Structure 1
């Protein structure tokens, strides 16, 4: 018997799939990571001098972002207790049956397979939604992210500083 999967996804937006108390707690975990995790890239962590994120600002931003980007936003939850990052499906297009995927993991949780686990769950959700294609833009230096997509069977288009990863579902 294999141990239970340590990773689960909890949809926080456009509508939380959990009680408000849990959504606020998971959003507070994400806010703490964004505010204080010095290992996150500049484009993700809270900008120096900017107001600190709170659970309320996280939920408000993600709900607005999901409406603007036709998206679903999930907390990546470790052992059903702690949000360690987020993953999203955006630009959901029912006509083309396509979407884009983006994610980040707190630096203390990187390199432990949690990104791979979360991505695997998003691939399942993508198939359940009837998507034919999932894509992402990956920074060339982000070797771990490229490996996640490569292991999932993605094809790649290379630019100067970015890689376009695409998975076509059969």
Structure 2
């Protein structure tokens, strides 16, 4: 199974909507990620994803099928040397190491494309799969903030994982 990160293309809208239209995915993401997720949502997202130069968001492709998305978003001002990582993959692909592989590939891209020294990702205390993928990719827990995330009428602890440029595996 070959994991490929590539720019989105307009033709990806159907596949994106197919995998993104899943409550089990949306419940772990910000409220900007709609549920239900329609083809129109996918088309809007793809247009936005392609609007950055350099690209900040890539399609995650397995065997020529787009099964998710991963993004690295540089911050500004006093946080200018950091970028936030976000990702999701279709539920039928969970538990296969795909997220970890995509994270590792995006780290290489992010440190080459942007003038950053740190990448961080946030998750809730209940999203154990995301925590595992981040740890396997070399992220370390930097902070736990109590009850800072409010999603679906429930509070969650926020876990912040970080990865430093000097930790990048040398190939």
Whether TM-score is above 0.5 comes out as yes
Q: Structure 1 CA distance, aligned partners of 2:10 and 2:62? A: 16
Does residue 85 (structure 1) correspond to residue 68 (structure 2)? The answer is yes
After TM superposition, the structure 1 = structure 2 runs for residues 30-109 of structure 1, keeping only pairs within 5 Å, are 30-35=16-21, 37-42=22-27, 46-48=34-36, 53-54=38-39, 57-64=41-48, 72-79=56-63, 81-93=64-76, 96-109=80-93
Q: Structure 1 CA distance, aligned partners of 2:7 and 2:160? A: 25
Deviation at 1:9, TM superposition (A): 0.6
Q: Structure 1 CA distance, aligned partners of 2:10 and 2:68? A: 14
Q: Which residue number in structure 1 is paired with residue 163 of structure 2?
A: 167
Please point out which of 9, 20, 27 is paired with 2:13.
27
Q: Which residue number in structure 1 is paired with residue 6 of structure 2?
A: 10
State how many pairs are aligned: 149
Does residue 132 (structure 1) correspond to residue 117 (structure 2)? The answer is yes
Q: Which residue number in structure 1 is paired with residue 97 of structure 2?
A: 113
TM-score (norm: length of structure 2): 0.73
Deviation at 1:98, TM superposition (A): 2.1
When residues 154 and 40 of structure 1 are mapped into structure 2, their CA distance, relative to the original with a 3 A threshold, is same
Structure 1, unmatched stretches of 5+, are: 13-22
Q: Structure 1 CA distance, aligned partners of 2:45 and 2:57? A: 11
Superposition CA RMSD, Å? 2.8
Q: Structure 2 CA distance, aligned partners of 1:66 and 1:157? A: 32
Q: Structure 1 CA distance, aligned partners of 2:76 and 2:47? A: 18
When residues 40 and 153 of structure 1 are mapped into structure 2, their CA distance, relative to the original with a 3 A threshold, is closer
Structure 2, unmatched stretches of 5+, are: 147-156, 167-171
Q: Structure 1 CA distance, aligned partners of 2:34 and 2:41? A: 12
Q: Structure 2 CA distance, aligned partners of 1:156 and 1:67? A: 31
